[in-house]
Structure 1
Amino acid sequence: MNSAWNRLFKHNKKEQQVLYEDIDMSFKDHELSSSLDFNIQTIKNTLGNSSDLIIREFSMGNPLLHKVSAIYINGLTDKVLTANSIIEKLMTDTRMIENNESWSPDQLGTYIREHILTTTHVEIVTDLKKLFSFLLSGQTIVLVDRCIQGFGCASQGGELRAISEPTSESSVRGPKESFTESLITNTSMIRRRIKSPNLWLETMKIGNLTQTDVGIMYVNGIVNDKLLKEVRERLDKIDVDEIQGSNTIEEWITDDKWTPWPTILITERPDVITGNLLEGRVAIFVDGTPIPLIVPATWNQFFQTAEDYYLRWSMSGFLRFIRLASFLITLLGQALFIAFISFHPELIPTPLLINLAAQRQAIPFPIIFEALLMELTFEVLREAGIRMPRPVGQAVSIVGALVLGEAAVSAGIVSSAMVIVVAATAIASFTIPHYTMTDSTRLLRFMMMLLASTFGLYGIGLGVIILVSHTVSLRSFGIPYLAPFAPFIPTDQKDAILRLPVPFMSKRPRLISQKKRKRKEAKSSLKEEKNMNDNEPKRD
């Protein structure tokens, strides 16, 4: 019995091995065959004779001896463009018939590429690996019988999501558009904002199975060459089967994979990418993902928004101060409340201490259990509000919080002061612009609560020291994570915590851009214009 199972297992394993070898062989650098039927059968076998594989075969030439085939994937290709610029042109071309001569397959292939195909880009295909790369990218493949080369015609299309307003980074005065899942659409949105030949784009394919297009965009002459080299090397080292999105790229190329802080900035707004590119940073776009990556990223960037540069400098500075204060409330507010109640009641004013003690008389649980219960309840409500349908999610979150909070206080499970503290820290967390920083702060808040319940204010001080020491040690693509605070760079303080008026921010960040630090100032252009006007001859 066991021997029969072993023979069956070995037989199945051998069949799977042959199947995998056949699939791998189809993607190796094997040249196309001169037989059109063999090439078509190879394509069908490799793609499992998929129903979305469209193959249009016909004849052309004088006489009609040359078999031609147009092959594309339904849904990835613009069918109207393929029909009008490729198939119709091939079937209705009469110039060859007027010549009244028979051409060889190679002559026919050259004539098709140079005189018939009217797509914007046509590339010669000589091997199967290139053929499948073009075919699965949305291009139309043209093959000619007895010709050892084919042609990949640019015909990408299909249904794509239109450009819409950003959902996680709202705007009042700034542009109201966000990235989509199309790599070409996203890069074109940046080119509309930076109309310079120095805006360069490099593309590569990552993922052995997914073959995901990844683009590196930067401004030549401003970006640091060492930074650009580091980005290329880290992307080249990625050797995986699938790339699900920019989050996969982020986890592979990040400096410290165990830190709670985000060391790569993500955004869905083109103006944010534009501003960072002009400072010397590098943007990484991933096809199929509407959220590109920005490297390097520093800690203070996660408290800045694009809206800061559309408001007056005084108002934007005030809002940044509010965000930093809210960050401290989110991180330490609950921990300080626990430490004061449990270890340092003498620091609380006497009337307030009496009220708090009266509220806690009927509470049967320790204060740390009470705090953890409320925090976890709020996290559950937050997650439920996100996962539920949008019209229902917000109502459930608000009503659930009110009902549960009131019921918990009435039942004597938690105190009213605890509900107020939890609500205050939760509302403060919503003011942090980037949700990656918000998530990190929410996790670190629990660590601070445990330290406060164990050692009081000394535990909070110890946690802050450990956290600051860890943050100072971090780097993002060679740039200190706490720059421009550690190391302290006076010239970069103009756009750190506060933002000075734009004419005073004449220099790019020192550690980011080391080639062309000085921006062209408006004052110099005005002086040049004034000098030109003064040098003009005066009329009588």
Structure 2
Amino acid sequence: MFFRSSRRQKKDNKQSTNKEDSYVHLHTDLQKNIKDLENLLDKPSDLNTRTFTIGQGGPDCAIIHIEGLSDTKMINENIMKNLQIRIDEVEKTSTYFETELLDKLYLQFISISNVEKGKTMDDVSFAILSGDTVLFVNGIDQALVISTKGWDSRSIEEPITEALIRGPREGFTEDLRTNTMLIRRQLRDSNLRFKSHQIGRRSKKNLTVTYIEGIIHPDLVKEVNRRLDTIDIDDAPESGYIEQWIEDNFLSPFPQLQNTERPDKVSAALTEGKFAILLDGTPFALIAPINFGAMMHSPEDYYERWMIGTLIRFLRYFAAFIAVFLPALYIALVTYHPGLLPTKLAFSIASTREGLPFPAVIEAFLMEITMELLREAGIRLPKPIGQTIGIVGGLVIGEAAVSAGIVSPVMVIIVAITAIASFTFPSYSFAISIRMLRFSFMMAAAFFGLYGIILVYIMVNIHIVNLKSFGIPYSTPFSPGFKTDWKDLILRAPITMLKRRPKYLQTEDEKRINKGDQS
């Protein structure tokens, strides 16, 4: 016990010492600065320190960066070469030992646009850990922080989770600057704003909130910034951490922020009056506020003609009904209400269930859980094997279960149709919510039949009506009703008729199309 306490005390003392040292101002002694920085970072093997003299007879200086995070070629060509070769002579005057020397080096000899001054050890260490290069000059208690980020990153590829038949093939990457560039390519608007935050006490990751000023409601911008300022965690490796921290109701099964890898989807949301959150290190951006209808929409709805888009949306809503209610209706009708079935169908189901050892509810749960296991296994396995496991495994297990007399053929058909319907949703997180609701309806049907299904349906509707996404009701524009927004809800009206932005967002600029009818 004493050993643990002593070790914990030493650890706490070390952390507090490092924290205090990081905010200490830099020294005028070059070697002292180098030593303090190396001690703060515990002398990592990838820390590259290069000391040299500026010109002939000039002051000693040093550049420090981390290999792998910085662009070595940029450092050699734009910093080292200029300071060592292109400076013929630096006069030995007292002015070179003052802060003005840093300005002279920046203005005349460093061929990199983004250069700042660092005054504390925290400024310097954070810059180095971010991929920048720090230039120390002997006799000056400040340093130049030079932007030389150059780590390897994934190239722009087609999003895997949101594939489209017709539409752009570009997707976000793990690099924040690449993602902001993709949005700027979509929206060349001078009112497009990118507001930066820093997330994580230890990771200190960059987070950007983007929106279009003049469209989005100002109170919405204030609210998202307020929630982001409350985040106090060590690290946020993925945008899912941000989503769970700033959502309105963590007990709800429904997502209150929409995640996407598609820049075109983000740009379309921004023009509607929403905002997006981009986090460094993840290709998934967050869009808010959202409603139930937005989770059923796909960018492809707008790329095709309005009749095709409307038909696809009808199919999605029909698929949602099947994915939620079909297994529960089977349990309720077979167990409690066989009289509601047509006579021939009732006799057909009864004949297939003859000799089965389990009741309908156990049969349904066994098959649904098996299907969920196959789906999860198919995702986790390598892609070629995963597809084979999902298809072959489902066929083999279903056929074997029917042959063994464990489940009925009708149950296999229902589970297969339900699984197919659950794959039609554009949002993966929303599809998981639908799968969770399916099991709730199945349990209610097992205990109370159709009455249980109706009771759970009423409870779900009450929850959706009370649920909000950044103050916007999740059930809008159904309730509260905005009839003008129904043009782009289940129906997808022609583009020429979508003249106004969603009314429930209360945008500052309501008009999408300024010509023609103003209704």
Question: Shorter-chain-normalised TM-score: which range?
Answer: over 0.9
CA root-mean-square deviation? 1.5
CA distance in 2, matches of 1:60, 1:514: 56
Give the 4+ runs in structure 1 shifted more than 6 A.
none
Give distance in 1, aligned partners of 2:11 and 2:118: 30
Deviation per residue, 1:392-421 (Å, 9 max, x gap)? 111111111111100000001100000000
Match of 2:398 among 397, 405, 426: 405
Is 1:170 matched up with 2:163? yes
Verify the 8 A CA contact 1:62 1:101 in the aligned structure 2: no
What's the counterpart of residue 381 of structure 2? 388
Cα deviation 1:92-118 (Å, max 9, x = unaligned): 132434x67675322432321221111
1:251 aligns with 2:244: yes
Are 1:158 and 2:155 matched, yes or no? Answer: no
**Aligned with 2:293: secondary structure?**
helix
**2:432 is aligned with 1:439:** yes
Tell me if the contact between 2:54 and 2:87 (Cα under 8 Å) persists in the aligned partners: no
CA distance in 2, matches of 1:139, 1:455: 64
Q: Return closer, same or farther for 1:454/1:77 CA change in 2, 3 Å cut-off.
A: same
Q: Which of 92, 96, 103 is matched with 1:104 structurally?
A: 96
Is the contact between residue 55 and residue 85 of structure 2 (CA under 8 Å) also seen in structure 1? no
Does the alignment pair 1:20 with 2:12? no
Contact 1:140/1:154 (CA < 8 Å) preserved in 2? Answer: yes
Matches within 5 A, 1:80-479: 80-97=73-90, 103-106=95-98, 107-479=100-472
Letter in 2 for 1:20: Q
Tell me how far 1:524 sits from its aligned partner.
Answer: 8.6
Opposite residue 211 of structure 1, the aligned amino acid is: K
String of CA shifts for 1:256-295, please: whole Å, max 9, x gaps.
0000011111111000000000011011000001001011
Q: Which residue of 2 aligns with 1:529?
A: none
Contact persistence 1:70–1:140 (CA under 8 A): yes
Question: Residue 244 of structure 2 aligns to a residue in which SS?
Answer: helix
Identify unmatched segments of 5+ residues in structure 2: none
1: distance between equivalents of 2:455 and 2:93?
89
Shift of 1:469: 0.5
Distance in 1 (CA, whole Å) between partners of 2:160 and 2:71 is 29
Post-superposition Cα deviations, 1:481-508, rounded to whole Å, max 9, x if no partner, equal: 1111111101111111111111111100
Counterpart-to-counterpart distance in 1, 2:509 and 2:8: 60
Q: Residue 37 of structure 2 is aligned with which of 43, 53, 68?
A: 43
2:125 alignment partner AA: F
User: 2:172·2:263 contact (CA, 8 Å) conserved in 1?
Assistant: yes
Structure 1, 474-483 or 505-514: larger mean CA deviation: 505-514
Q: In 1, are the aligned partners of 2:29 and 2:139 still within 8 Å (CA)?
A: yes
Task: Report the TM-score when normalising by structure 1.
Answer: 0.93
2:477 is aligned with 1:487:
no
Q: Distance in 2 between matches of 1:342 and 1:429?
A: 25
How far apart are the structure 2 equivalents of 1:394 and 1:522?
Answer: 50
For residue 216 of structure 1, report the CA deviation from its aligned partner: 0.5
The answer to whether the 8 Å contact 1:452/1:459 transfers is yes
1:10 and 1:109 map into 2 onto residues whose CA distance is: 47
Q: Report the AA paired with residue 88 of structure 1.
A: K
The structure-2 alpha-carbon separation of the partners of 1:9 and 1:347, relative to structure 1 and needing over 3 Å to count, comes to closer
**Helix, strand or coil at the partner of 1:365:** coil
Could you give the per-residue CA deviations for residues 51-80 of structure 1, whole angstroms, max 9, x where no partner exists? 11111111124424x111111111111111
Cα gap change, 1:490 to 1:138, in 2 (>3 Å): same
Instruction: State the Cα deviation string for residues 461-496 of structure 1 (Å, max 9, x = none).
Output: 001000000000011101111111111101111111
For 1:344 and 1:497, locate their aligned partners in 2 and report how far apart those are by CA, in whole Å. 32
Identity %: 39
Q: Which runs of 5+ in 1 are unaligned?
A: 526-540
Residue type matched to 1:450 in 2? M
Quick check: 2:55–2:83 contact (8 Å CA) kept in 1? Answer: no
Which of 25, 33, 44 aligns to 1:31? It is: 25
Q: Is the 8 A contact 1:215 1:284 kept in 2?
A: yes
Separation in structure 1 between the aligned mates of residue 319 and residue 508 of structure 2, nearest angstrom: 36
CA shift, 1:513, in A, is: 3.7
Q: Which residue of 2 aligns with 1:59?
A: 53
Deviation at 1:523, TM superposition (A): 4.2
Equivalents in 2 of 1:143, 1:381: separation in Å? 58
| Deviation (angstroms), 1:229 | 0.3
